Structure 1
């Protein structure tokens, strides 16, 4: 190459000279010869192979980027590269060394795909499996490393492939296969470099299969020594014992581990585990000692777990402030989105709930739901429910309680108890009774069972099942779980007796209660209740005597206003109106700020009206309000004056009185009512413009009042009576816009539809009725609208539509609207000449709606008409004569007699 530059074999000499230097590992000289060859014989027969060997030389010197450059060039030069499979293999190994496993897999895969006869095939099979392992594509790694071709590999390669295959099985949680492959490796290659790692992997595979005894034996074998595998194995052999439930043995092993490796990295974990074991065995002192030490660890995870468990320990001891502090520390050190973070937040939710900090507690509990909805779902729901309950949000609490599906007996018990109380506080006494009864049955020895039975009795009382309420009280007394030393319980018991029909026993117990607890708040109430029972029985004289007896025993009783009022009621029912008025007056005179003043005024009003002297009631009202103008209900009493005039049909006087009220009590909440009744008074006087003015004030000025919608309806009625349909429609439209959301809207729409009918605008009416029946389907006006739609369809001959509407009403309702629907359904069938079907429909009016005489009478008339069409005159006459017998002197009777004559 140096002297015979014209030689024909000089190119070959360069190539072989490079190979010789490569063999002597003189890689830079080798490259120089290969590069000279490439320079002087560009595109020659050895150029591709020369680039391959340059790449190999760089790879041998670990100059990986340079190696990649030339190996890629060699791959492209397919014509002059005799080592194409080796080039690809070396390039893949270089990428593997760089940690670029994706490119390594790419080129190993090329070799396996295109060079099936290469001597490097098996090696590539191993290496691609290794690369897949490091790419964490364990399934692909298993697929490649499970190839039978690998059985013929040299021992070092085969043992490595088995080790990685076992690891891959472990990573995909196929612990049984992992155990098999680890065992095969240990059996075939007992001297392998992977021996301890393989044994450790085997131990873990056994542990994950719950083969704790077998795992313990392997961990125990590995635990001798000081390397990391020995220390970890020491730790996990203790864990194997813990999982076997042999906590004492686990504690002993952990304590030996602390003695043998006192300065090891694993010490904080061991201290935490000891704290956990002592916690589970109720040795709180030892648990706390180890947990406090673990909490000072440098490992954030251990600190988080230790603080969290300390929080749970304090929570169990009801030291909620201390628990809260520990949980906060645990949360500070917990990794984001970790189990311990969630557990710390749950602990905080519980501790803060017990500390009464409901908003803070719910914030943490809701964070858990947002981050991990399935984490401790039942406990999270339980504490959310309790927090809602404390805030008196019983519906939300009930929703959370109902979301609990746990089998944990403590939570099941508390959930049932909480659910029962939610229903109780919501006034749903039937559901609360059912659940309190279940609680008493399932947990008869629980500390809360007596309270549950008391609430059961209250629930029965609330749902008016007084006999059951009395029986529960009686059982509690007999079982001595409840004594009559509590006047509240005694009073409820007596009430239950009365409500269950045991009147004499109730009177006796109310009397006994007063004698036994003469100074309790229930003493005077019990005596009053005795009088009230006699009042309810119609024994008014005895009632009066008992009412007065309360005042005799308790002259300063707070019940005085209701006692005088009740005496007044008793005299009123005896028609002794003067005595009634005297006692009602005592309420007004002696207790003008009492809540019974308004009722007393009503009593006086009715008494004077009964005596035919309403003007005296009016004079009394004037006098009382003048003397007590600032009482909270003076306005309501003064309004009674106008009501008296209105009820006596003195509409002019009523008008003046309502105006006087508006002037005198301009800030009263009853002002809208006064304007409304002003309108009604004017309407009754046929002063329609005034009436519309007053109704309009009530509507426009007080749109949020209950009277607003009623005022609109009254205006609409007046406009309809005056045949001013356009004004009525305009007012209805304005109200629909202004009173959006009002419960009066369905009726306003319905009246709008009727107004369109009055104006002969049937198409518009039909649309309005359709809207009402669709958008307000839960209201009576939806059904009324269906009836009106049915009438329009019937008149237009759209029988299918009319029949559907009438039949739906007849089957759905049992009131007069249902009767009308049934009658018109029969009438529709009659018009369609379906006489037999019509008879069946009309007979149903008699069997289902017989209490509605108008429609029953009309159905008999229509039945007669059907029989006439069927040429059954005898049956027709029978129907007509039924009408005649019940309506001898009215229009129905007259029409029926005419039809009988026509039959002749």
Structure 2
């Protein structure tokens, strides 16, 4: 609705005309038809004064030929007079006649001289205005009545009706005034004066004691005055001054009406009949304020309560509730104040519809103040009961609710109160609401914004979890639930220790967490947490305990490599548990070695070496070191094995494994080419080993290795012992004798050699069938020595004078040599047979030669000597013939395919003895196929 704001004056409304606008349309000076009769004037830049304008219009009146022009000029002159009088009146200029007298006369003259005056209604309007300004209200009323009667369609009739109502109201003609105002409102609802007319209409009904009608009209006034740009203004401070005054005065008089005891209407019943308006609360507030002025405090409180209870709109109820409590406080109604404060918390606190949006500052302040007050009171009551050993759970539960409400309220403004938050957690704890208390303590403890309760709250979290761990219901949960809960407990305990590392119990809590996990056999979780142990402020001894638990966990999870690493870290630290750490470390390394043995014995051995290097005194050393030797030997790492075997034998001389290791040293010395030690080790085994056969073999082996390494003396002793001690097996016994013969040969000990050569020949005679061939060969070799010895003696035996004596001696030696070579020939072994045959033939040949070359008696002369030589020849020829026969017989072996050096020597001898037959080139066979 389009409306013009009007000023609300005093009830007399004496200055109403001064505030009205000029008429919408009236004739102007420019519309006068001056034609050519108007004098020429010079236009200047200076605006004419009112006096100059008046003189100009008077000149027009005098000169204008047309009546209409003169009429317009006179009308303009009257208007100029009206404006000049208004100015003079405002400035207080004194003049001979009264203000506006001349102006009135001008308008009256204009009306008198022109019955058919064009614009007569406008002139009457200006005359009424002049009377009004002059103060002649009755004359003004009469002129307006004439104007309304004669010109019902006059453009300013609504103003004239309003002036009449104003006049009648001032004359206390309230019924007539009411009619005039009602006429204007009904006929001119869009008029700028409609609002003020409604206001005066309400006042008229009030003066006539029509209270209900008056309230309705006043309500309409409020509706129109508060409507701005299509919206209802609910804060009168946002109105302009006139509207603000209008609204305030309207509310005031409505409050007066509501307060009348004989008038059975209050704001509730009024708006239930009229219809609730957005501004209805203003009436309740105004009425309550009116009661407070009169110290009618209960009535004021009831007024506020009636709005809270009945208004369909939630707006302003909070403010009225606050005002209501303010009334109780002002009146010192303590019990009522307490009840209403608690009611305020319930009805207007968090969770109510009144806090769907952000609260006003007053609402917020009151709510948080009251919630804090009653929460503190309940907490104090709980403390008192607890000190008296009485049940305080209920009191603390109420306190917890209060503190929660208070903190929720603070959150509406993104605020907080750490003291109250902590008291909330404490209240929940004291009322045994463990889970809720836990949540609040956690929020406080781990808030991003530092606060003074953080460490205490964090420790409270630890305490609550301890309580819950001991709770029977928790312990009866399934394995999965138990596991999850324990992890939750440990996570929170460790979080406390990390966050509040300086807390006196921080390190204790860490160890409790680790111990809990270990007791529950949650080793994997323990290790996961232990990975971050450095972030905890643990003492050296506490860190040791934590590391020990981690090491045990690795071990129990059979992660022996990690267990080893963990135990190693503990070795350098002194502790009563050092022995346990060492042996667990040893076990961890042993387990790894055992696992590696099947797939990678090298790594297993390395692990054992590392163990013995690190823990030389471990209780498991004997078995570990023995296992190590076996791995190294199996890997053919004999050099490493040798060291550990020797060390083992030294450390554990009575071990059951000594004999096997002593035996395995043979392989070690063989593969490390330690001949001296190998031979000595065989010698050791030959005397120390429990098994006789092993002793026998070791004795023989020691002899051989002494021989191979050039230790002839030890070889001799060992072979000799063997030859005397072990007649069986035959082959090795015989070989020992052969070796002894060879050794004595090298030592140039002929007699000792021949001793063993005789043993060899004797052994042949008892040789088993399986060894007969070899034994024959060795016997043949031995016999050859003796044959050669006999040949040597025979050869060295010279035929001297007397021939008979020397020849007999030589023949004796010849018989021995022949016997020896015959023995050699009897073996029927290839070269030994040809050798024996050759040597026998040679013996005969040599006898013949020695006879022919024997010493001649010195006394023989030519003839005698010649006869002597014939005698010698006769004696030599049989021997030579025998030699040829034997040579020839040996030579026959050539045709059987046998050819060796002795056959060759045989041919040479035959060639010398029988050159015609044998002194020719013989083709030697390519191969010797003789069977030995």
TM-score normalized by the length of structure 1: 0.31
TM-score normalized by the length of structure 2: 0.31
RCO comparison, higher one (Cα < 8 Å, 6+): 2
